[in-house]
Structure 1
Amino acid sequence: MSDVVRILVGVLLVVVGALWFGQGMGWIGGSGMSGETLWAVVGPVVALLGLGMVASGLRRRSAR
């Protein structure tokens, strides 16, 4: 996977994870996920994975 793609996918995962966390906490309504504890747990895990991908992509780019 190229570094740019890794960074973009990582950013997307951070945004999706934050959205899921907000829905799970009940801060963002209008979904079946709103107020569900599962998404309040899954969201930060996905966001952390995304941050790891971004960091990995940036590290690999700077190593060149």
Structure 2
Amino acid sequence: MRGWFRLTLGLLAVVVGLVWTLQGLGHLRGSVMSGDDVWAIIGPVVAGIGLVLLVVGLRARNKARRQQR
């Protein structure tokens, strides 16, 4: 079970970051964030943090699997 929390949080951050980026760039409409340049900057930062969490979670999960053997 080790690493699953980081994987889940990382995946969520990547998805949210992508949505925020698309809204900031004006590709997704219907929100206060649509067309706002700030979200076009914040989105990729959040997605990058999510990718880091995914890598850390995968490493922790693989390490736990190796220790079980």
Same fold (TM over 0.5): yes
The unaligned stretches of length 5 or more in structure 1 are none
TM-score under structure 1 normalisation? 0.94
Q: Which has the larger radius of gyration?
A: 2
Opposite residue 6 of structure 1, the aligned amino acid is R
- What whole-Å deviation, never above 9, does each CA across 1:1-34 have from its counterpart, x for those lacking one? x410110010000000000000000000000100
Q: Does 1:19 align with 2:19?
A: yes
Question: Which runs of 5 or more structure 2 residues have no equivalent in the other structure?
Answer: 65-69
Normalising by structure 2, we get a TM-score of 0.88
Distance 1:21 1:37 in 2: 9
